Amino acid sequence: MSKFLKGTFILLIAGLITRVLGFIYRIVLARSIGEEGVGLYMMAYPTFILVVTIVQLGLPVAISKNIAEAEARGDYGEIKKILVVSLATTVSLAIVLTPALLLLAPSLSTTLFTDQRTVYPLMAIAPAIPIIAVSSVIRGYFQGRQNMRPSAMSQIFEQVIRITLIAVMTKAFLPYGVEYAAAAAMAASVLGELVSLIYLLTTFKIKKRFRLRANFFQFVQKGKETFGNLMEIALPTMGSRMIGSVSWFFEPIVVAHSLALAGVLSVEATKQYGALTGYAMPLLMLPSFITYSLATSLVPAISEANSRKNSKLIGYRIQQALRFTFLTGGLAVIVLYVLADPLMELMYGSNKGSYFIRVMAPFFLFYYYQGPLQAVLQALNLARAAMINSLIGAVVKTAVIFLLASQPAFGITGAALAIVVGFVLVTILHFATVLKKIAFPFEIRDYLKGFLVMGASGWFGYWLFDHVLLTEALVIRTLTAILGMGLSYLVLLLVLRLIKRDELQKIPWIGHFFAL
């Protein structure tokens, strides 16, 4: 198995575990602090993502790409220089951003957010900044060497700590007010990041091939060219993420003010936004761990092929990624659409948000494509084009939120539709940009077959849920429908030759079964 497939598979398994753990976290959070608390948490969370984007400066992708190319040349001196320069950059940013957020949190909560209680979760974010500054560089190093295990394990440790602490911390602070409980939930995430960093640093110390601290500042002084090479990729990558983060930062603000224009009270707006972003969106984004795994593995794999001018391998890797995204994303879409109500009931004890899932799920296949396509653009030195595409999508999304959510006829549904419009547009633009750079076959017939499989499997799952085991518990009926959809989906893919037996044999564990 190639490094690309092995790395993707490791991240895939870890991503599945962390997403399941993440959902457990969301469930515990929702049941601990309620819809209003989740709304406060989710209003502050985009600020967290924005700060993380700034402190990372787009370096993880640039580190991964440049280290992959340096290792292909066997230049370990350059690898150390990349690490030293990156650490000096992110830590310097953290020293500035940490006190800045603490000082600005009170004014942010009063001037930008409609709910002043967001000040507490905003302040709880600050300790995570220096932690992420270091951990993002170490992750980029391992990913550049196409060793995905440390990144995968660190994500699992992070989620385990978050879940372990969330119930205890929110319960301890809830008597003081829901805003303190939301801040405690944010603090649990920070502690999870800290444990993740400790693991990464320990693994790095064991596996490194050089002494990082030796002549550290001399390497910083000699790293001007290395810094320039990193910034060529990092700044456009950061630009793309910054656009997304700024857009997400302003999203709750625009939604809250738009809903106010539509006549929705502040507390009710917080609840509605919590139902959309705290309940529905995490479920819709759950399958994106697959595309995240592909995107993370694609950057070093395509960078290495691109440095060797192997356009045939680049086209093959792109085809692999897009095909895998379509087949896995298709199953996710039909499961979410058909079983929106029971899934929400099982996850949160309420079907609030299931309406948003049914509205948005059919379009989320475009969202699953976005990560791999952006990774391809970054690896092909087209990060600037990816940034422009993201900017267009963000502007359109924000404008549509204001236009629709401010209308009483749409309300919060207008925000959901605007989010869909934004990511569909970005994905189309990314795909068009990739096609301009790399020509590869695009089998329309296979995609038509895929949609046929999705429709048939979705209908079968709907029939199972409505007609089989009606006297059993909801969890049994839901799992039966998911299993039925999954098996019928796989059988139809094999029958229509959308996946082949020899392809399944390359996958660990599954391959042993098909080899019998």
Rounded Cα gap, residues 202 and 446, in angstroms: 46
d(CA 20, CA 67): 31
Q: In one letter, which amino acid is 173?
A: F
Helices (H), 57-148: 59-73, 76-111, 119-125, 128-144
| DSSP-derived secondary structure letter, 222 | T
Locus of tokens 């993201």 = 390
User: pTM for this structure?
Assistant: 0.70
Of 14, 347, 250, whose CA–CA distance to 152 is shortest? 14
pLDDT at 392 over 70: yes
Query: Over the stretch 279-337, which tens digit does the pLDDT of each residue have?
Result: 788 788 877 777 777 777 777 778 777 777 777 888 888 888 888 889 888 999 999 99
Residue 459 pLDDT more than 70?
yes
Residue 398 has pLDDT above 70, yes or no: yes
CB contact at 8 A, 342 and 264: no
Report d(CA 35, CA 508) in Å as an integer: 41
Q: What is the mean pLDDT of the chain?
A: 82
d(CA 394, CA 403) in angstroms, rounded, equals 14
> How far is 136 from 207, CA to CA, in rounded Å?
17
With cut-offs at 50, 70 and 90, classify the pLDDT of residue 460: very high
Each residue of 123-162: pLDDT tens digit? 888 898 999 999 999 988 888 887 888 888 888 898 888 8
Residue ranges of the domains in the chain? 3-442, 443-516
The pLDDT value given to residue 26: 75
The whole-number average pLDDT for the span 168-172 is: 84
Over residues 420-442, the pLDDT tens digits come to 999 999 999 999 998 888 877 77
Per residue in 476-509, pLDDT (tens digit) is: 999 999 999 999 999 999 898 887 666 555 555 4
Considering all CA atoms of the chain, what is the largest pairwise distance in Å, rounded to the nearest integer?
Answer: 72
DSSP secondary structure letters along 362-431: GGHHHHHHHHHHHHHHHHTT-HHHHHHHHHHHHHHHHHHHHHHHTSTTTTHHHHHHHHHHHHHHHHHHHH
512 — pLDDT class (breaks 50, 70, 90): very low
Q: How far apart are the first and last CA of the chain?
A: 19
Tens-digit pLDDT profile for residues 145-155: 878 888 888 88
Q: Residues 181-189: what's their mean pLDDT?
A: 87
Which whole number is the average pLDDT over 80-106? Answer: 88
- Asked if residue 510 has pLDDT above 60, the reply is no
Q: What pLDDT, on the 0 to 100 scale, is given for residue 500?
A: 64
| Percentage of residues of the chain with pLDDT beyond 70 | 90
Using CA atoms, how far apart are residues 184 and 207, in angstroms rounded to an integer?
35
Q: Of 42 and 265, which is predicted with more confidence?
A: 42
112 contact partners, CB below 8 Å, separation of at least 6: 253
Identity of residue 267: V
With tokens 């009270």, the residue in question is 265
* Contacts of residue 415, Cβ cutoff 8 Å, sequence gap at least 6: 251, 255, 258, 273, 276, 401, 404, 405
Amino acid at 302: I
At residue 515, the pLDDT reads: 47
Residues in the chain: 516
Per-residue pLDDT at 446: 87
Contact present, 317 and 302 (Cβ < 8 Å): yes
Res 454 pLDDT > 60: yes
Check residues 498 and 195 and name the one with the higher pLDDT: 195
3-state secondary structure labels for all residues of 45-70:
HHHHHHHHHHHHCCHHHHHHHHHHHH
Q: What is the pLDDT of residues 9-64, one digit of tens each?
A: 777 787 778 777 877 777 778 777 877 787 788 778 878 877 888 888 888 888 88
Residue 84 has pLDDT above 90, yes or no: no
The share of the chain scoring above pLDDT 90, in percent, equals: 19
Q: What is the pLDDT of residues 208-255, one digit of tens each?
A: 666 666 666 666 667 777 888 788 878 887 777 777 767 777 787 788
pLDDT 10s digits, 334-354: 999 999 999 888 877 777 778
